[in-house]
Structure 1
Amino acid sequence: MLEQYLKFIEQLPNSRELTKEDLIHTNFLIAKENNLEMYYSPHNLCINNKAKIVIIGITPGWTQMKKAFETFVALKAKGKVSLCTILKETKKAASFSGTMRSNVIDMLDECNLHGALGLPSTSYIFGENRSLLHTTSLIRFPVFYKDKNYTGHQPKIESSRLLSSYAYNDFLDEISSLPQSSLLIPLGKRVESIINELKQQEKITQDCLQGFPHPSGANGHRVKEFSKHKSCLIDRIAYWRQSESNL
């Protein structure tokens, strides 16, 4: 799919910040369904099939999309960087970028994920220990509902032919390619419910961290939800680590 959009990416300016007018554009439009629009972004293309930790969002938002394109364009402008390296570095930079990443790290540190992995902080899996991490989304590409980030509520994924084709097919193929010993961390109830549905159908077999709240700053219930589930999250990570060690 990158080949289809590369010529348009190469036309983007490298001298200024990219805007919605640059990226929420017909050049990058993948599909449209009623009030939903899906756009291409170059940061969910690489799969780390040796990952121990898999963090799963609903769909990349505008912040991640913008960061992905700006990183890709800046690296492409250097001229001597391979396309494979550009895609890997783009994914590193854009995955859950902004306050979402900070909130994810803070909550997972409180759950002692870093201790289970033998690291000083969970932040290391986004940096020098990136080989431990795979980040992805139920819907790989950015989706907007009435020009705003799609949140998984309206419409529900399962009621949309466009969204369900990605969540129940593409996403499932991706997760099936990952180690059975990896720990899935769904961000929020909507992602968790789809994964639980697929687990009940025995289409997903990896362990799943239940009750982890969506890390968006717009989630006003995040702190309360995290406090409610924290002890269970700590126990589940410890259980996963013990099970993973026994494999």
Structure 2
Amino acid sequence: MQINDTQKASFLKAVREVEPARLLAPGYDRLLLHREGDWEVHWAPFEPLNTQAEIVLVGLTPGYSQALKALRSLRGGLRRGMSSSRALVEAKMAGAFAGDIRDPLERMLNFMEIPRRMGVRDAASLLDRHGMRVHLTSALRYPVFKVARDAGDGEREGYRGAASMMKTPWMRQMVETLLADELQALPNARVFPMGQPARAAVEHLVAHDVLSHERVYYGMQHPSPGNRMDSRPFVDPSEASTHPKWQGRMVRVARERAEMLDKLARDWPLEPAHAA
């Protein structure tokens, strides 16, 4: 699902001409990349590669709100006369892990002491002032939405990993091409898949010798509000559910957290704190 120059030009033209909420509305196909079964993939400006990155955070796929923010940023930049290359970079930064994902992401990064290991004060500073040291991406680079033919501009239902991503050929192809290319282009960056679907994607690349397992730190949970049952106890074990129905899940989160912290302690010693 690589994007060629002709497609890119067409997408940029659409963004200049049409309000982004309309571009993402059901049945409006100017940004459509692929449709199959219950799902369709739409283009959004998430290609730019941060070549200075020291860590890579891998989510599942951009959601509607992230795609909308990225497209609105891109539209604004283009209409102000910004170069397309610069507008694309700013658009990705505006949309990637934006909105209600941001706070839980910062809490997890601070808990893991990633900023301190990088000589930075905290996660807010790392993602803002030192953002070039972090590459944000997804197992499925482009937004994947539930097919809906009805009219309307409301928020669309996005893919949450319910289907088996690595057993779905077109999803697996996105992982094996788009994600693989990004991770290979950053050979020295540490990779943190967030959540079980992203973990499965990265494990697939490791199993096929695309990525060294030594670079990967498994166990980080996805920071989306819908995953609070996993992300909150990852940071604070007292938040773990005590309901018998969820005990297996809580044991998994605790085990993955412990394994990650052990690997971080072995591989990445803490740096002295800085007021960066």
- Band of TM-score, shorter chain: 0.7 to 0.9
Q: Does the CA contact (< 8 Å) of 2:166 and 2:200 recur in 1?
A: no
Q: Does the CA contact (< 8 Å) of 1:111 and 1:230 recur in 2?
A: no
Q: Does the CA contact (< 8 Å) of 1:59 and 1:143 recur in 2?
A: yes
Deviation (angstroms), 1:63: 1.0
Q: Does the CA contact (< 8 Å) of 2:108 and 2:234 recur in 1?
A: no
**Unaligned runs of at least 5 residues, structure 1:** none
1:89 is aligned to 90
Matches within 5 A, 1:220-231: 220-222=228-230, 223-226=232-235, 227=237, 228=254, 229-231=256-258
Q: Percent identity?
A: 23
Deviation (angstroms), 1:23: 1.9
2:215 is aligned to 207
Distance 1:146 1:183, change over 3 A: same
- Tell me how far apart the structure 1 counterparts of residues 89 and 178 of structure 2 sit (CA, whole Å): 20
Matches within 5 A, 1:51-90: 51-79=53-81, 81-90=82-91
- Tell me how far apart the structure 1 counterparts of residues 219 and 108 of structure 2 sit (CA, whole Å): 12
Deviation (angstroms), 1:141: 0.6
Which has the greater radius of gyration? 2
The partner residue of 1:185 within 192, 196, 201 is 192
Q: Does the CA contact (< 8 Å) of 1:183 and 1:240 recur in 2?
A: no
Q: Does the CA contact (< 8 Å) of 2:23 and 2:30 recur in 1?
A: no
Deviation (angstroms), 1:210: 1.3
TM-score (norm 2): 0.79
TM-score (norm 1): 0.88
1:29 is aligned to 32
2:262 is aligned to 235
- Tell me how far apart the structure 2 counterparts of residues 33 and 125 of structure 1 sit (CA, whole Å): 38
1:150 is aligned to 159
**Following superposition, which runs of at least 4 residues in structure 1 exceed 3 angstroms of deviation?**
229-235
Deviation (angstroms), 1:242: 4.1
What are the Cα deviations for residues 173-220 of structure 1, in whole angstroms up to 9, with x where unaligned? 2211112x3111111011112212321332201521211111110114
**Unaligned runs of at least 5 residues, structure 2:** 1-6, 149-156, 238-253, 271-276
- Tell me how far apart the structure 1 counterparts of residues 198 and 69 of structure 2 sit (CA, whole Å): 23
- Tell me how far apart the structure 1 counterparts of residues 170 and 205 of structure 2 sit (CA, whole Å): 18
- Tell me how far apart the structure 2 counterparts of residues 220 and 101 of structure 1 sit (CA, whole Å): 13
RMSD: 1.9
Matches within 5 A, 1:68-147: 68-79=70-81, 81-147=82-148
